Amino acid sequence: MSQMFKISLPDGSVREMPEGSTPADVAAAIGPGLAKAALAAKIDGELVDLTRPFTGDASLALVTSRDEAEALNLARHDFAHILAEAVQALFPGTQITFGPSTDDGFYYDFAPKDRPFTDDDLPAIEAEMRRIIAADKPLRREVWDREQLISRWKQQGENFKAEWAAELPGDEPLTVYWSGDDWLDMCRGPHLPSTGKLDPAAFKLTRVSGAYWRGDQKNAMLSRIYGTGWLNKKQLSAHLTRLEEAAKRDHRKLGGEMDLFHLQHEAHGSVFWHPKGYVIYRALEDYMRRAISQADCKEVKTPQVMDARQWEQSGHWGKYRENMFVIPDEVPNTEDDGPIISEDAEWMALKPMNCPAHVLIFKQGIKSYRDLPLRIVENGCCHRNEPHGALHGLMRVRQFTQDDGHIFCREDQIVGEVQAFCEMADKVYRDFGFTYSIKLALRPDNRIGSDEQWDKAEAELRDAVERAGLATPEYGWEELPGEGAFYAPKLEWHLTDAIGRTWQVGTIQSDRMLPERLDAHYIGEDGARHRPVMLHRAIFGSYERFIGILIEHFAGKLPVWLAPVQAVVATIVSDADDYAAEVSAKLKAAGIRVETDVRNEKINYKVREHSLKKIPHLLVVGKREAEEGTVALRTLGAEHQKVMTLDEAIALLKTEATAPDLVA
């Protein structure tokens, strides 16, 4: 007689199922509707296939399309496998490698037999994928002996799979998944019950690129095929619409059209700011300087290059060395083969962050407990040796400037300081029209410091957010295990832009490690030496990236106070040229950034051209306006113009051109 297992369901009920039963059997026992809707299962919290047998009493939650996060990940994982199966069916001899899901889809890396794949191959691959989905092939899990699987891969010429199987850690058997009876891939799973559970209209292959095997440029170049995958056609259509809108808002495209900046290979990863772009940059700097002044922060400036021994002591040299630009001592080479690094070279490095330099400022002179908190901020230029392929316009660069600050405080001041920062960040982001969510990134596996120190630091950040009233669903409060920095937990602010994308920008980190490593201390009320706690904080993150986010959020139509050119005075006829000059002079005197367009062009041409440049206001003047002392005001995005006196127009523009009041 078979043993009976007690299976506890989310509604509190318990079902007894015979040994050998699976979640699919439980779903069928509950009803045919659930059996059809079930995609996977959680047994004691672990996501598994519906066909995984129970091994004893267990809790069970069935996953359906209503569980969107899990369902999407499963679907995208399956799309990746079906992509690999389709490619091998169409291009025999192609070797398969890896194929994970991504935030909005999936990809798979291939080693083609004859030639790299191109975008022209995608329609045929999509058609084959839909054929596989329509065949409703069962996806079946098997456990293989490692050596047996390696042997099979080698026999089939799958050298990449054989290499990976041999190097996987441990000596346990490996799992594979069959698609029907004729194709398999090595995978931990889980998967959907069959290919037919996918919507054939819910995916699209998007592009082909090159990728190195295991991400190492010393290895073979592979062909990577990207796709986007969803649960249904409606979700796919919405995503493609978002992509179209994102392409229109691309900051690189708009940056060129608006003459803000450019990038080129002579300074790869660094930005050439044009005059108009630098106006935005300086407006943000001015805004942030007012913000930090009101928060009683002191601005500092520190060196770009520091001795490597300082980075060794701080811990960055050992954990961040590959991302730093280093500068060794050199001696001339008489054979003209370039410089030689001397054996006793004094290594220097361009700073990738400002933290150690700020500790050195703190250490100048004796600090008392009465001097704390000490808040210092630097608009500090930093350099990080980002991989070439990771660079992306303003969003990911090698040279950038942070609104980087550090608060040195006593233990009893931490929660209050973090709370004040949370309230300041809330005001700043709302000034720019953003909503946001707050995340608490907790200790990673690779970290320094004791568990006791991490417990205390995490609790302090959590407490501060709660006191600020921000640890609520309204603010998307979430804790992220393993996502903290190696030296400290951190709070992260994730902004949501106009088309629903999120951007992680601001952060504050509670750090007890760096003051200890760099021997920072203050004299306490008891006359003894104590370590300060160091709070790392930033709101914009980097000016470059924040400007890129702003351009895309506003689709180039920046708030008037940020716009490089806030108004253009455009003439209808040459008889109004003198009046246009008078209007421009009065606008400049009122502090408005204005240009004058007296070209011999039709006014409709001028309107269209300045609209493309995202000029907020166009003041059109002709003979009548000159006689009456008025202007015809055209506001970007408005359907109709408004005729008003020049004084009225100046008052309106002056109000809009004023930066937000940080005290409000």
Integer CA distances (angstroms), 369 to 111, 141, 295, 405, 531, in order: 63, 63, 19, 20, 10
Question: Residue 263 and residue 396: Cα distance in Å, rounded?
Answer: 12
- The DSSP code for 598 is -
Please name the residues in contact with 435: beta carbons below 8 A apart, sequence gap of 6 or more: 429, 495, 496
Q: Are 339 and 333 in contact (CB under 8 A)?
A: yes
Q: Are 223 and 112 in contact (CB under 8 A)?
A: yes
Length of the chain: 664
DSSP string, 367-410: PBGGG-SEEEEEEEEEE----GGG-BTTTB-SEEEEEEEEEEE-
Strand partners, 506: none
Tokens 């003047």 identify what position? 621
Q: Which two tokens stand for residue 594?
A: 């204005």
Tokens 């708009």 identify what position? 254
Tokens 């979430």 identify what position? 478
Which SS3 state, helix, strand or coil, does residue 276 take?
A: helix
Task: State the greatest distance between any 2 C-alpha atoms of the chain, in Å, as a whole number.
Answer: 104
Q: Are 224 and 109 in contact (CB under 8 A)?
A: yes
Catalytic residues: 355, 384, 402, 404, 406, 490, 536
Q: State how far Cα 589 lies from the chain centre.
A: 41
